[in-house]
Amino acid sequence: MMNLDWMMFRRMCVAGAKSFARSGVVSFATVLIMTVTLSIITGLIFLSGLLSFTLSTIEHKVDVSVYFVTSAAEPDILALQSQIEKLPEVASVTYTSRDQALADFRQRHATDQLTLQALDELGGNPLGASLSITAKDPSQYESIVNFLGSGSALSQGSASIIDRINYDQNKAVIDRITAAIGAAEKAGMIVVLLFALASVIIAFATIRLAIYTARDEISVMRLVGASNAYIRGPFIVEGVISGAIAALITLLIFYPATWYAAGATASWLGGFDFFAYYRTYFALIFVVILGSGVVLGALASFLAVRRYLRI
């Protein structure tokens, strides 16, 4: 019984392959539009990787700096640093003393003699110490700032030792970047859905034409008692073949394309390497693209068979 089932399956695959080859230009058009669709899906995968890389890079550069009044005692600041480091949202805290802040300021303005002269005329250090806080996730900065303003921060008498926090300007940058990434991903999904619909429609038309062309063969198979699955199977196989070929073409196209893009764009994309990303996640990309192609082809064939092949 198992050998019989296997033989039927093999015959359906052979019949589907022959039907695909006979369709000629129509099959080519189906593969072409599916290749475009799968290329867009692959492009979105790379876009998602680029956006994630960019966001991760920015997240590591963006932090919240807490500036202290010049009269704040260093033990009080270090005690506050210890409290902040215990917060579950915090990834790291870096302390910059008043002396270090002054040295950094002088280094940044080494070529600005007027600024350095004005600083010398003050006769002291006008800069306060600071803490640079990095959160584990950008969405957690707000809770850290709330902690600093809740009264938990150490104070000198009734006055807070904190002068200011630069959270608001960093929050605006993070929010804009997150919104832009979300918008890009939504737009990409809409484009994929439109091309997926076009692929299904064209594959649908291809199978419809194949059913019409094979109408005499279908009538003969009905007369000799062929099962419904045996009659419908080759058309499903034809759609699957179209999707699989389109997937393989897409994967082959992106290999040299990502290699070229890596050399051309790595310098101005912050170090993101398309080719390295392609090789690292090739197994995942292969499964997603091949699976998408097979599903698109099988779905279009299944819909066409249900619509036009009445058994």
Report the pLDDT value the prediction gives residue 311, as an integer from 0 to 100: 54
pLDDT confidence tier of residue 1, bands split at 50, 70 and 90: very low
In the predicted model, is pLDDT for residue 2 greater than 60? no
SS3 95: strand
Helix (H, G, I), strand (E, B), or coil: what is residue 162?
strand
User: Residue 132: is its pLDDT beyond 70?
Assistant: yes
Averaged pLDDT, 74-88? 87
Of these ranges, 14-23, 224-233, 289-298, the one predicted with the greatest mean pLDDT is 289-298
pLDDT (average), residues 58-72? 79
Average pLDDT over residues 189-210: 71
Mean pLDDT over the full length of the chain:
77
The token duo for 302 is 């299944």
CATH number at 70-160: 3.30.70.3040
Q: Parse the chain into domains and list their residue ranges.
A: 2-58+174-308, 70-160
Put simply, whether the predicted model's pTM sits higher than 0.85 gets the answer no
For the ranges 74-88, 150-164, 192-206, the lowest mean pLDDT is seen at 150-164
pLDDT at 265: 67
Task: Give the residue among 62, 65, 127 at the shortest CA–CA distance from 95.
Answer: 65
Q: At 225, is the pLDDT very low, low, confident or very high (cuts 50, 70, 90)?
A: low
Q: How far apart are CA 130 and CA 94, in angstroms?
A: 8
Residue 165 sits at φ, ψ, to 5 deg, of -130, 130
Question: Is the per-residue pLDDT at 153 higher than 60?
Answer: no
Using alpha carbons, list the distances in angstroms from residue 139 to 117, 136, 151, 169.
Answer: 42, 9, 22, 14
Residue 14: pLDDT band with limits 50, 70, 90: confident
- Number of neighbouring beta carbons within 10 Å of residue 27: 21
Helix/strand/coil for 125: coil
CB 222 within 8 A of CB 231: yes
Of the listed ranges 13-22, 40-49, 80-89, the least confidently predicted one is: 13-22
Q: What is the pLDDT of residue 207?
A: 67
CB of 211 within 8 A of CB of 308?
yes
In angstroms, the CA 49 to CA 184 distance is 12
Range 240-266 average pLDDT: 86
Instruction: Give 256-290 pLDDT, tens digit per residue.
Output: 988 888 776 666 666 778 888 899 989 989 998 89
